[in-house]
Structure 1
Amino acid sequence: MAADIAEQPAGFARLLEDGPAGAIAEVAAEVARRAPRSVLFVGRGTSDHAALYGAYLAEIRLGLPVASASPSAITLYGARPDLTGTLVIGVSQSGGSPDLAGVLNVARETGALTLAVTNNPSSPLAQAAELSIDVVAGHERAVAATKTYTAELLALLLLVEGIRAGDGRLPADERAALDKLPELAAEVLADRSAEELAQRYRFASSLVTTGRGYAYPTARETALKLMETSYLPALSFSGADLLHGPLAMTDPDVPVLAVVGDGPGGRSMRDVVTRLGERRADVVTIGAADVPGASARLAVPAVDERYSPLLDILPLQRLALALALARGEDPDAPRGLKKVTTTL
């Protein structure tokens, strides 16, 4: 897991190279040409969190209605929704789960434009889709996905911004900003604060993660990583949902990891941290600036809010790894889990 985490700066650089980025631009241009009226995402686990990030991008940047598919409606109950004019995007690091490929097969039959985003271009998911994007993350050693997750995020960012441009090509200033991501990611991974924080929460019995907007997928992915590597019960809420009830359970014994970046989502989260502070909750923020009410911070560089999820998750992956080791667990062999999970 440590080796996979460390490869992410190189993974960003590889995906931004002319070949992979150009292939995504071609897909984006074709999607723009077909002009879908809505977008439907489908994914499981970590890839579903990447899909959630893609959903925020598509709804905000493309102005299209976006939804998340329920695979069981199609694969278990035999539903055949009319998806004419819909772009259906399947996101899966392995591309091997039958239910995801089943959704894309039915979507294609019922009028959708289908697209697979995967780390395995020869997978059943990629074969089921009309269009395919290879996130070129390379072989991932650990069961817990790390580098494939951020590769999916970057691929979806390039896709959505390419669709928005119309011809798949990003404006020069945006491309220049993205080219800085590998260096920024390396800076984040050089910080050892996550290891120190792991010792602080070694004996925690539960934990809460929270974020809003583009940061919400980061909160959900963090909770999953903690659960699958440390077996630590972790509940994830959007900042808004946290205030609608779950806030009542927070206290000094329930650590809260709050992703607080720049932009509208980050500004809203500052109010959430204030409310948590009123309850004397032990709050750690992930972001570029100190936030009143927090007891500690995992620092990341200030970037455009759309790019933040690619950096914010890095120290949290390190935290999950370090916390598992501190609790005497083996994060490379989570009990009961395999690299490819098959669901029908």
Structure 2
Amino acid sequence: MDLSYILNELGEDREQYFRAISPPIMQTSNFAFKKVDELRKVFEDEFSTYLYSRGLNPTVDILRQKLAALDEAEDCLVFNSGASAIFASVFSNVQSGDHIVSVRNPYTWAQKMFDNILPRFGISTTYIDGTNIENFERAILPNTRIIYLESPNSWDFVLQDLQAVADLARAENIITICDNSYCTPLYQRPIAMGIDMVLQSATKFIGGHSDVVAGVLSGTRQMMKKIFDNELLNMGNGITPFNAWLLIRGLRTLPVRLERISATTIKVVEYLKNHPQVEEVIFPFDPSFPQYDLARKQMTGACGLLTIVMNAEKMQQIVTFCESLRHILMAVSWGGHESLAIPRCASILPENFDAGNRAHKMIRFYVGLEDPDYLIADFEQAFAKSR
């Protein structure tokens, strides 16, 4: 299906809403019926039509069609956050006594779910180095139900060979879930490589304007209906119509934003690689990246996120650098119009800082839509103050 068609036309029937170019926001909680039989049928299967906007909603459905097509999936669900999408995808496929294999250092709220919530139900998780397929093979137990992936990771951008993991999991009758927030469906399509379910934080590139929080989960229609009928309706964590409309708006410009961000990121990476106060630049599409060949094999692009290891003997040098940035904001998340920085040492007490620990000196940057020279000038003056 053509990308331009998906972003600009799929799911949109303008004759039904006064030929308006932008679809309406169906800001309703409820839907009316004229016949008792009609209402009875919807009670039997709420996934079939509109009953109550905690479930299906027309504006959300336009978005669902577009996002499922981008992922090359049969269907998708849209949640009120990426964390909700993660929780629903995992919780719907485990029961007491089950086991999960996860890549180590996943997204914070995925790890909190694995460590703090699932053990209450007798569900255990084994974390592995996902760079080697043999680690997955060794970690699988008779009660393993899920392999959880995040490729690339959002700090050091470690990858997994998605095709190899999918083949292994399918042979063992294990469900695979991949967090694809870094790449979006435009730059990586895990389902095409055999992954069962793919999720992403739509807060990031899909929204693109730092004004909406949402999560997407795609897979077979059967999988999505199972989650809709249970986790989504019970937890009530579907997206609101207005936020769905904001994501539709974001999708219109997604390709051009990613192209611009990608081009700027390459220039920023080259600048940082040659700066004496930078020990290392970590970026999946740089030839120095340890998994560069795999990145090129399964990703068609890499944009925005990169990490540096700063050449610093003291935490204060990193603190001074980050606090001296004038235009690059210090904040979490990514994917909006604005460039961001977040130092790893923000989660480390000063007395625990270790200059010999590479991770302690990491600063993650997100490159936004600003001009590259504008960003480089900001880096330059901040580096000068942190010497």
Q: Per the shorter chain, which TM-score range?
A: 0.3 to 0.5
**More helix per residue: 1 or 2?**
1
**What is the TM-score normalised by the length of structure 1?**
0.40
Q: Between Structure 1 and Structure 2, whose CA radius of gyration is higher?
A: 2
Give the TM-score, by structure 2 length.
0.37
